[in-house]
Amino acid sequence: MTYSKQQSFIDKETDFGPDNYKPIPVVLSKAKGVWVWDVDGNKYLDMMSAYSAVSHGHSHPELLKVLHKQSSQLALTSRAFYTDTLGPYLETITSLSNFDMALPMNSGAEAVETAIKAARRWGYRSKNIETDKAEIIVADGNFHGRTTTIVSFSSEPNSKDDFGPLTPGFISVEFGSAKAIEKAINKNTAAVLIEPIQGEGGIIVPPENYLSDVREICTQKNVLMILDEVQSGLGRTGKMFAFQHSDIQPDGLILGKALGGGFMPVSCFLSSSEVMQWLTPGSHGSTFGGNPLAAAIAKRALELLDEEGLIENSRVLGEYFKNAFIEMKSNVITDVRGKGLWIGVEIDPSYISGKELSMLLLKKGILSKETHETVIRFAPPLIITKEDIDWAVNIIKETLDEIVLEK
């Protein structure tokens, strides 16, 4: 593989953009389904799905039709007017998730900010928490976005260093411990905001009874249970929503990424009428949130998850893929975890770093990315086939075997 042509594009990004990412050194220019190509024509299996944003696969033909039709008809008006796409989309998403209402936004971080504002208003106006005293309990190792408020409760020092003054009102406790949450609740607690599975944290799966215990505690203490399913939602874990594995219903749900069908940023916050009633005119909004194009795409993206069996495919092939890693019995692998087509493979750093392994896989035609230096995430589009997975497993096993031999 040569990088001469690619290097010019890499140099332009480096010269004219800040160094706030460390991309894998490959320049992508085309994609279809589960495959992507670089500017030199090299082909790769996408095991990233843009952090679950491309769950339907690249350029899904049905979503492409919606994109073309709606963009030629009406793409943007702002929420100053009603449109004929937003209502049907909201009806679809609330029906699927069993919530009363949904507030549409664009990025996942915007939806998290919406949840925070909604929880605080509910705390003051429904629970009668003293003004400016509301607290929200979060989990250590969380990742909810990059805004000033959100990084204020991050556990990652580099996420918040020199971005202060940080926003108060958040209490962070051990992830996976319902007892830690219960202990942290006081009269000022408005909500608990957690991920069902921590994605950026390294695909960390909590104990089986965690969410059900948190649900019970929040109900008893009159505290909102809000789940961030920006990455884990919409079929990624083998259920429409990750919380369904625990047979519970949260008080609030944050969705994004796959909601845009791989075409544009779409997110939302869902909750009850009791919580949403306090978001009155002027209190919150977004020029692009719920725009006609986004609403049309999101509605169809939701429908396709069921119509094309993508959730069941995630469940079945996710289990198959996960077991394949376990059966490798490689000395390089120290742990395999995840649900559905969302798998974290922990590697022994004495053999190789996560970044180095990602680079080796890149050379063999697999796009992957490390997190926390020692975890490789595998999250392909939900349309992936068993044949695609078998091909990837052979490549990965071959690579790990070579690493052990070289050691």
Q: Name every residue whose Cβ is closer than 8 Å to that of residue 280 and which is 6 or more positions away in sequence.
A: none
Q: Name every residue whose Cβ is closer than 8 Å to that of residue 88 and which is 6 or more positions away in sequence.
A: 295, 299
Phi/psi for 196 (5° steps) reads: -60, -35
Active site annotation includes 143: yes
How far apart are alpha carbons 268 and 289 in whole angstroms?
A: 9
The burial class, CB within 10 Å (0-12 / 13-18 / 19+), for 44 is buried
The catalytically annotated residue of 38, 228, 251, 388 is 228
Q: Name every residue whose Cβ is closer than 8 Å to that of residue 364 and which is 6 or more positions away in sequence.
A: 395, 398, 399
Active site annotation includes 257: yes
Active site annotation includes 133: no
**Buried/exposed code over 6-25 (b: 16+ C-beta within 10 A; e: otherwise):** beebeeeeeeeeeeeeeebe
Whose tokens are 């509605």? That residue is 299
The catalytically annotated residue of 99, 175, 251, 257 is 257
The catalytically annotated residue of 38, 46, 99, 143 is 143
The residues assigned a catalytic role are: 143, 228, 257
